[in-house]
Chains A and B, each alone.
Chain A
Amino acid sequence: MSAPLLTATGVHKNYGNTQALRGVDFAIEAGEIVAVTGPSGCGKSTLLHCLAGLLSVDAGEIRYRDQDIGLFSEAARSRLRRSDFGVLFQFGQLVPELTAAENVALPLLLSGSGRKGAREAALGWLDRFGVADLADKRPGAVSGGQQQRVAVARAMVTEPKVVFADEPTGALDQLNGEQVLGAMVRVAREQGTAVVLVTHEATIAAYADREISLRDGAVDPTGLGVAP
């Protein structure tokens, strides 16, 4: 077995006096799809945000390719998110004023790519997720499911090593949700991209190779939702 791509060791995160994470250990290998499950408020999203470098941890460390990302500057973590990481949320991640193609091209443009090349790449990714015909539409003009496909295309456009998906189908009906997730998992497997998938739905977690369960900010070793 190869060394893990991303690891979290003894991660603690507090919001004021509330302990969101209490010594969480986690590891994911290249190309692996891991679901993080648990009831509302157990710390799933906080763990994902810490893993993606969106939040800093209070104790413990998160290592990507054996580098402690806690030591990275905010700008370096931003660069990581537009090169090696892709991030996907339930909603709200698309820039409403940009077209679908511009949204997908955004990480490439921010990295210094030319508009023409970035648009061509974006169109290719929109096509892979079946929404190429929406390229020049703004997010407000398309359905929730289509918006989420555009968001998945944006998360994948840089061919990241890890995609972090926080309840990516939470705002969609079951059929749309399964279509979006099915497409994302298919492409991730083709690309060899690891996926950390936060969800509280068993049908969504079933797409993963492995599942870890959180309860009250700690990994539930039984995976049955019982507090340690």
Chain B
Amino acid sequence: MRFSTLVRLSLAGNRTDRLRTVLTAGSAALAAVFLLAAASVASVRGGDLLVDPTGMADRSPGSEQYASPLLMEAGLRPGVIFALVMLALPALALAGQCIRLGAPARDRRLAALRLGGATPGQAVLIAGAETAVASLLGSVAGLGIFAVLRQVLDPRSADGRLWLPVDVVPDPVLVAVAVLLVPLLAGAIGVLLMRRVVITPLGVVRRVREKGPGPWPGVLILIGLPAFVGPELVPDDGNGPDWNVPEWAPLVSMGVGALLVMTGVVLGVGWISYTAGRLLRRFGRGPATLLAGARLMADPWNGSRTLGALLGALVFGAGTLGFRAQLAADFEASERYSRMVDPARGGSGQDNEFYFGAIRLVMVAVAVAMVVAAAGVLVAFVEGIVARRRAYAALTATGVPRRTLRAVLLWHTFVPLVPAVLLALGAGTALFRMTGTEVRSGGGGTYETCVDPVADWATCAKQTLVEPLVVVPVPIPFGGLALLGAGALVAMLLVVGVGAAVLRSSTDLEELRAG
């Protein structure tokens, strides 16, 4: 097959196919903008902490033009890069949902191509090329948007310093990675979504799983939680802490642990959906629960596919709230300890607002991620309704009230969603509680001090004091968690609301006469 044939067959499509291409390109553009922003921050130089032999600390030049320490300090920039990359993930998940848009019509087209003599490999190539071309167009558009934003956005502080790194030209290698990574990942997502779809010349066969998913993803969570604090579990031999743990190990271990927990939560939704469907079918009293239960059991992985990004954002958000609670307890313990050992000073006098400000920024990023993830769920949700419109119209024609179909949507969405949200919040909270449920300050043993506090240390009469111990329990941030969970549920309620509106037009009896 020639390249021109591949392009022609990839671009052949109806209105839904064009909509899919536009939405895929749009989400790819969004992901590319986030990745390019991360590349910009990664290209900022300077701000490393330098300590001279006299003990004076200074920062290396190159980042003094920025107003925010998040850009100015080299030690904080990896966190900003990480947050921006995290923001790209829900945008990529949105691209994944868009790839599924109009899947039944596309599958029919691919089956017709197979009948025309296309090999299975050519069919996958045509489907993959469509996604890759759309994503590539999107990420190139994202590059354009990014270039325009760099020119347009130039907020400055009162002293004229920059809030955004618009003065930095991102490293070309990083730009290339950001632009090419999106189509590559979108293509991979597309292939992944089609792995259980066999396009035969006689039609499309979706391999149906005969056994329901098991609770094995729970094992990932159980492994991920201790992995998150892995290096801290290494016994201390008395030669100082972390005697045999490389410097990078804690960060890698945290990342791996968090990833395992997120994966466990997302994949666990398959088991939750299947079990919820079985319970609904067994104990449900009406047709709505029967239909919803049957659908949950027929495709239990639907929840993992559609809610993955949302649940990932919830785990991340709950973890951030847990970290915030721990940090607050840490500061409180230091404060109380300082007051106890030196009442005259009245506390540590530390300004903690910067740290809490950074956490607030992360929570804003989590909120943005949830909105993008909810948009992805909306696309998948509407797609599911449109794909089943003839079945819905047939049900309506046989006398099933529309309110019953709306109830099916609600049951089908919320029965697995509520436990999944609770699991995500619980797992995210557990991550930081693994590091401890209380913070201790002091309690190191005894120390000497002058009986007369103003006397010279070398000659004064000394007294031995026991170092005070301050223990502050780390609270579970129930308020924040409730807000986060409620935000996810409200977002999904809005999605179901839009879905109900689409359902109304999709149950029109004219659908039975169409196509």
Contact = CB atoms under 8 A, between A and B. Distances in A.
Given A94-B112, A109-B5, A115-B5, A54 B119 contact: no
B118 A78 contact: yes
Interface in B16-38: 17
A74 to B, nearest CB: 5
Interface string B1-21: 110110011001110010000
Contact of B117 (A49, A79, A98, A102): A79
Nearest to B4: A115
Contacts of B121: 75
B201 interface: yes
A78 B5 contact: no
Given A106-B117, A107-B116, A112-B1, A54 B202 contact: yes
A92 B115 CA distance: 10
B113 interface: yes
Contact of B13 (A97, A110, A154): A97
A109 B118 CA distance: 10
B365 to A, nearest CB: 40
A44 interface: no
Interface string A103-129: 100110111111100000000000000
B272 to A, nearest CB: 31
Contacts of A109: 1-2, 5, 8-9
Nearest to B114: A78
Contacts of A179: none
Contacts of A89: 115
B201 A81 contact: yes
A87 interface: yes
B145 to A, nearest CB: 30
B388 interface: no
Interface in A69-91: 74-75, 78-79, 81-82, 87, 89
B200 interface: yes
A93 B120 CA distance: 16
B2 A82 contact: no
A95 B117 contact: no
B404 to A, nearest CB: 32
Contacts of A154: 116
B256 to A, nearest CB: 39
A107 B307 CA distance: 41
Given A110-B5, A115-B4, A74 B120 contact: yes
A147 B5 CA distance: 22
Contacts of A98: 9, 12
Contacts of A110: 1, 5, 113, 116-119, 122
A221 interface: no
A74 B119 contact: yes
B59 interface: no
B109 interface: yes
Interface in B167-200: 200
A75 to B, nearest CB: 4
Contact of A96 (B9, B109, B119): B109
Q: How large is the interface on A (under 10, 10 to 19, 20 to 34, 35 or more residues)?
A: 20 to 34
A78 B119 contact: yes
B116 A103 contact: yes
A106 B14 contact: no
A94 B113 CA distance: 8
Interface in B103-154: 108-109, 112-122
Contact of A97 (B17, B118, B122): B17
B12 A93 contact: no
A92 B360 CA distance: 56
Contacts of B201: 54, 78, 81, 87
Interface string A121-147: 000000000000000000000000000
Interface in A14-41: none
A1 B362 CA distance: 82
A107 B114 CA distance: 10
B329 to A, nearest CB: 61
Contacts of B4: 115
B112 A95 contact: yes
Instruction: Tell me which of A54, A87, A97, A102 has the highest count of chain B C-beta atoms within 10 A of its own C-beta.
Output: A97
B116 A97 contact: no
Nearest to A75: B119
Contacts of A102: 8, 12
B441 to A, nearest CB: 68
Nearest to B13: A97
Contacts of B117: 78-79, 81-82, 106-107, 110-111, 158
Contacts of B202: 49, 54-55
Contacts of B9: 98, 109
B401 to A, nearest CB: 34
Contacts of A111: 1, 117
Contacts of B120: 74-75, 78
A110 B119 CA distance: 9
A87 B118 CA distance: 13
A27 B122 CA distance: 32
B102 to A, nearest CB: 12
B200 A54 contact: yes
A120 to B, nearest CB: 15
Instruction: Tell me which of A74, A75, A95, A113 has the highest count of chain B C-beta atoms within 10 A of its own C-beta.
Output: A95
A111 B2 CA distance: 8
5 contacts: A97-B12, A97-B17, A110-B113, A110-B116, A110-B119
Interface of B: 1-2, 4-5, 8-9, 12-14, 17, 108-109, 112-122, 200-202
Given A54-B200, A78-B117, 17 more contacts: A75-B119, A78-B118, A82-B117, A87-B115, A93-B115, A96-B112, A97-B12, A97-B13, A98-B9, A102-B8, A102-B12, A106-B113, A106-B116, A110-B1, A110-B116, A110-B122, A111-B1
Give 5 closest A-B pairs by Cβ, nearest first. A82-B117, A75-B119, A97-B12, A78-B119, A106-B116
